[in-house]
């Protein structure tokens, strides 16, 4: 299982939820790769992404502001990796997911952000179980 397999579903109009979220699915496989990533870091980044989604959906932030805030999580993840709080695979998941979400048309942005949040939620559920 690679990060690319998981992130590729963000682009899909109809992600393969059974293959992502099901037991033994991509989210669980990826969560197993996060052994050296502290659970507090996983939750911290998940909470940041959910806050961005919530502010975008409520209209507090427009798409440009939401995209900027998403990109701010990338150097934060890199810093966490350099401090050995998360592994490279987690950093790559954040980076590649943000890139996929933000490199979308206006019509796709909300759907991709929502899909990213749901995939990330599944990873959180399987991490350190």
Contact 94, 73 (CB under 8 A): yes
pLDDT digits (tens, 9 = 90+) for 95-128: 999 999 999 988 899 999 999 999 999 999 999 7
Predicted pLDDT of residue 126 = 93
Chain-wide mean pLDDT for the chain? 94
What percentage of the chain reaches a pLDDT higher than 70? 98
d(CA 50, CA 38): 19
Domain locations in the chain? 3-7+16-126
d(CA 92, CA 109): 20
Contact 72, 24 (CB under 8 A): no
CB atoms within 10 A of CB 68: 12
Predicted pLDDT of residue 40 = 93
pLDDT digits (tens, 9 = 90+) for 50-72: 999 999 999 999 999 999 999 99
Instruction: Count Cβ neighbours within 10 Å for each residue of 32-65 and write b for 16 or more, e otherwise.
Output: ebbeebbeebbebbbebbeebbeebeeeebeeee
Single pTM value for the model? 0.94
């Amino acid at each position: 299982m690679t990060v690319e397999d998981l992130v590729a579903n963000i682009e899909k109009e109809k992600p393969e939820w059974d293959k992502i979220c099901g037991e033994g699915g991509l989210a669980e496989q990826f969560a197993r790769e996060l052994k050296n990533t502290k659970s507090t870091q996983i939750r911290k980044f998940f909470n940041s992404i959910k806050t961005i989604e919530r502010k975008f959906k409520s209209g507090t932030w427009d798409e440009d502001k939401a995209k900027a805030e998403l990109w701010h999580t990338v150097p934060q993840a890199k810093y966490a990796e350099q401090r050995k709080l998360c592994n490279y695979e987690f950093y790559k998941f954040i980076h590649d997911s943000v890139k996929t979400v933000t490199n979308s048309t206006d019509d796709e942005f909300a759907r991709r952000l929502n899909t990213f949040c749901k995939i990330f939620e599944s990873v959180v559920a399987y991490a350190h179980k």
